[in-house]
């Protein structure tokens, strides 16, 4: 009875989240139509532009279409769920690591594990399950002496690889979790972070072009109704605010792409157990700018490569300042 009620509750939550995501996507589509439509309606030279500069209006229309396609493509993409990685490895749909034994140590009220299981105990338990290879592989990604309490999800009981976090909106564990984007209605993770960055870039270019059209329309020395100028000023102010937000967002995500970080790791660095002892200026998962960009944009197996936490000796070596030899040898790249 309890399991069936929990399943029904989870189903209701997923249906509600799906309806909310559809509503948000419709709202984003409507905002694009309103902003782009308002610019052309307020432009008294629209007929001349269509006949005199068809290539200019055509390119703008193509950009609008590409931006909307990229938005829906990103919104419908998979961020990289742990459960999908396990399925790809011909494993079970979840790793429970002897749920019967863990249930004795868990709190029935909040589901947290009260007493941590040692690495040796977890390894012994995992050998009794069909997913022992997954548990063993994940254990090897963490530093020796790590507690299973830190890397076992308290919600879905999945053994999480490093850089993984459970998303409460998606109700799944996401690889290289960055954040849950409410405007896209999905998580941003390892497999769709590059698509998200491209979408922000296209949206920023579209916003710049739309603002330029709006300014050009306001500067025209022609007779037009006063309310058109008033609406044009309000529209331009809104576009400038959106542009500032998009530009800062694009610069920030470009930085974390170059350094192989995530928004969650930057915001919660002191709360992530395997990052607590890492010096502030050290980027533990960075492999250099060139390799970071390749893994971010071009890796064909992206989403199924699990990153291990570097050993303490390597982190201490990275804490040293760059020398002239390091720069010549492109240590930073």
Would you say 164 and 174 are in contact if contact means Cβ atoms under 8 Å apart?
Answer: yes
Question: Is 290 annotated as catalytic?
Answer: no
Other beta carbons within 10 Å of 223: 6
Biggest CA pair distance of the chain: 82
Q: Which residues of 118-150 are buried (b: 16+ CB within 10 A; e: fewer)?
A: eeeebbebbeebebbebbebbbebbeeebbbbe
Closest CA to 146 of 173, 122, 165, 177: 122
DSSP string, 227-241: HHHHHHHHHHHHHHH
Evaluated on CA atoms 92, 113, 126, 79, the torsion sign reads positive
Phi, psi of 152 (to 5 degrees): -115, 120
Q: Which of 153, 167, 181, 207 is the catalytic position?
A: 181
- Which two structure tokens, joined as six digits, stand for 135? 């548990």
Would you say 194 and 80 are in contact if contact means Cβ atoms under 8 Å apart?
Answer: no
User: CA 189 to CA 304: how far, in whole Å?
Assistant: 12
Catalytic residues: 181
């Amino acid at each position: 009875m309890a399991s069936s009620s929990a399943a029904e509750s989870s189903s209701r939550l997923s249906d509600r989240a799906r309806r909310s995501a559809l509503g948000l996507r419709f709202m984003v589509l409507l905002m694009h139509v309103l902003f782009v439509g308002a610019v052309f309606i307020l432009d008294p030279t629209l007929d001349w532009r269509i006949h005199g500069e068809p290539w200019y209006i055509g390119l703008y229309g193509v950009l609008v279409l590409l931006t909307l396609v990229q938005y829906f493509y990103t919104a419908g993409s998979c961020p990289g769920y742990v459960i999908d990685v396990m399925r790809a490895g011909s494993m079970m749909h979840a790793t429970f690591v002897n749920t019967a034994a863990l249930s004795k140590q868990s709190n029935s009220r909040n589901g947290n594990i009260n007493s941590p299981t040692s690495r040796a105990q977890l390894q012994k338990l995992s050998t009794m399950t069909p997913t022992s290879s997954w548990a063993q592989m994940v254990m090897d990604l963490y530093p020796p002496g790590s507690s299973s309490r830190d890397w076992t999800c308290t919600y879905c009981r999945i053994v999480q690889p490093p850089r993984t976090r459970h998303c409460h909106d998606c109700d799944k564990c996401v690889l290289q979790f960055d954040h849950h984007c409410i405007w896209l209605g999905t998580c941003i993770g390892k497999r769709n972070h590059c698509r998200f960055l491209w979408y922000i870039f296209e949206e920023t270019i579209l916003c710049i072009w739309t603002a330029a059209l709006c300014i050009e329309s306001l500067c025209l020395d022609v007779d037009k109704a006063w309310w058109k100028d008033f609406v044009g000023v309000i529209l331009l102010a809104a576009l400038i605010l959106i542009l500032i937000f998009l530009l800062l967002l694009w610069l920030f995500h470009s930085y974390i792409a170059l350094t192989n970080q995530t928004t969650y790791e930057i915001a919660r660095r002191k709360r992530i157990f395997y990052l607590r002892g890492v010096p502030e200026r050290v980027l533990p998962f960075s492999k250099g700018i060139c390799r970071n960009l390749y893994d971010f944009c071009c890796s064909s197996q992206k989403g199924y490569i699990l990153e291990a936490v570097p050993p303490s000796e390597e982190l201490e070596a990275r804490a040293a300042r760059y020398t002239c030899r390091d720069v010549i040898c492109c240590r930073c790249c």
